[in-house]
Amino acid sequence: MIAPYFYPEIGGAEFAAYEVSRRLAARGHRVTVVTKHFGELPPREVLHGVEVHRVRALDVKGVRSLSALPGMLARSLSLSDGYHLVHAHIPYPSAFIAYLLRRARGVPYVVTSQGSELLDYPEERPLRLLKPLTGAALRGAEHVHVISRALRRSVVENFGVEPGRVSVIPNGVDLEMFNPRRRRELWEERVVLSVSRLTPKNGLEHLIRAMKLVLERQDCRLVIAGEGELRPALEALVRRLGLEGKVSFTGWVRYEQVPELLASSHVFARPSLTEGLGTAFLEAMACGVPVVGTRVSGIVDIVRHGYNGLLVSPGRVEEIAEAILRLLEDEELRERLIGNALEFVRDYSWDEITTRYEEMYRRVLEAGA
C-alpha cells in the first residue's frame, strides 16, 4: 500500500487504507504501507499486523507530497521484492510512485481515487496542472478503484480509462464503533452536527446561513466538528449573523470521538458542493442519526431521499433549513429514516468491503497471470 496519509491521520482515504490493510493482514496477507508524516510518529511500526513505513515530509501547504515523493519512492523500491501487487491510494503522489515501480520492478498496481483528483474540488484546483500525469498513471494501472459512480464516470470520460478496468467499491463503516447502541433517547438540547473538514467543497457557509432560518422556528444548536482553512471566515460569518452561542466549533477531533458526537446529536447535515462518497453520512446512519445531504456526485449513491435521509440542492439555504426542520419536527419521519438507514448500512461494513477488495486483487492477478 502506498498512501499519502495513514492512521492516525483522519480522513476517508486514510481510514479506507487503514481499515482494509488491517483486515487483510488478519486474513493472512502480508501488507506493508509506505506513507509520509510531519510530526513525531515513528518511522517504522507494526499496527494490527501491518508494517508501516513513514517518510518525513515538509509541513508546508502545496509541497507536502512533492517533498515526500523521492523518499517514498526510495522506500517503496527497497521494499518491493516479494510483493505480488502495489495498491496506490490517491493518484498523487501514490500512483506516480506505483507507475515508476511498475517500470522498474514490473510489479502490477491498482489505483484508488477518493475524489479530489477527479472532481473539481475548489481547494484542489492546482491538481488540474497534474491532469496529464494523473491520466498516464491511471491508464498505466492494471485496475482503477473508485468509491462512487460519479468517480467512475470521471475516470472513464475525463482520463480515458477503459470501463472494464474500473471497479466501484465504496468506503465502509466500522459497525462495532458506529452503532445505534450509543444513541441517546433524550437530549438536553437539540443538536445539529456536521463532521467535516472546513474547506470550500463542504458547503458549511450555507449550513450556517440555514441555521439562522432554523432558529426562527426551533431552539437548537449547530456543532461543527473539524478543522480547516475556512475556520476564521466561518467564525466571522457566525458573528455577523448574530449566532454566537448557537453555532460552535470543536476544532480537530480524534476519530474515536466521532461516535460520541453523533450519539449527542439529533440531525447530521453536510451540504457539500461536491463529494467523492461521503463516509460521514454512513457513520451517522450507523449511529441512528438521520442525515441531510446534497444531490451531488457520490452522496446520491448512499443517501436516498425519503428512504434513508433527505437530499437538498447544493447551495440552497432555504432547502437546507427546511430539511433540518422536518427532521426536528416530524418524529415519524425521523424514525422511518433511521430504521431504513440502519438496514441500508449493513452492506457497508469494513469486513464486507475488504472481501470486495480481495476479489478485485484476485481478478487483477489472474488477468496478469
Do 12-172+349-368 and 180-347 share a fold? yes
Which tens digit of pLDDT belongs to each residue from 50-69?
Answer: 999 999 988 887 788 888 99
Mean pLDDT to the nearest integer, 324-349 = 96
Task: Name the residue with cell 470550500.
Answer: 200
Which tens digit of pLDDT belongs to each residue from 232-263?
Answer: 999 999 999 999 999 999 998 888 899 999 98
| % of residues, the chain, pLDDT over 70 | 93
Q: Check pLDDT > 90 for residue 124.
A: no
Which tens digit of pLDDT belongs to each residue from 320-329?
Answer: 999 999 999 9
Helix, strand or coil, per DSSP, at residue 30: coil
Query: So what's the pLDDT on residue 122?
Result: 46
**Radius of gyration, alpha carbons of the chain:** 21
Q: Check pLDDT > 90 for residue 188.
A: no
Helix, strand or coil, per DSSP, at residue 272: coil
Task: Residues 180-347: name the CATH superfamily.
Answer: Glycogen Phosphorylase B; (3.40.50.2000)
Query: So what's the pLDDT on residue 328?
Result: 95
pLDDT confidence tier of residue 8, bands split at 50, 70 and 90: confident
Of 266, 308, 268, nearest in space to 291 by CA: 268
251: left (phi over 0), alpha (psi -120 to 50) or beta: left
Which tens digit of pLDDT belongs to each residue from 13-40?
Answer: 888 999 999 999 999 999 999 999 887 8
Indicate the pTM of the whole model. Answer: 0.85
Of 180, 193, 189, nearest in space to 342 by CA: 180
Map out the domains of the chain as residue ranges.
12-172+349-368, 180-347
The separation between the first and the last C-alpha atoms of the chain, rounded to the nearest angstrom, is 21
Question: Distance between CA 140 and CA 268 in Å, rounded?
Answer: 40
103: left (phi over 0), alpha (psi -120 to 50) or beta: alpha
| % of residues, the chain, pLDDT over 90 | 72
CA 82 to chain centre: 31
What ranges make up the beta strands (E) of 172-229?
A: 191-195, 221-225
pLDDT confidence tier of residue 127, bands split at 50, 70 and 90: low
**If 0-12 CB within 10 Å is exposed, 13-18 middle and 19+ buried, where does residue 277 land?**
buried
Q: Look at the domain 12-172+349-368 and name its fold.
A: Rossmann fold (3.40.50)
Q: Check pLDDT > 70 for residue 226.
A: yes
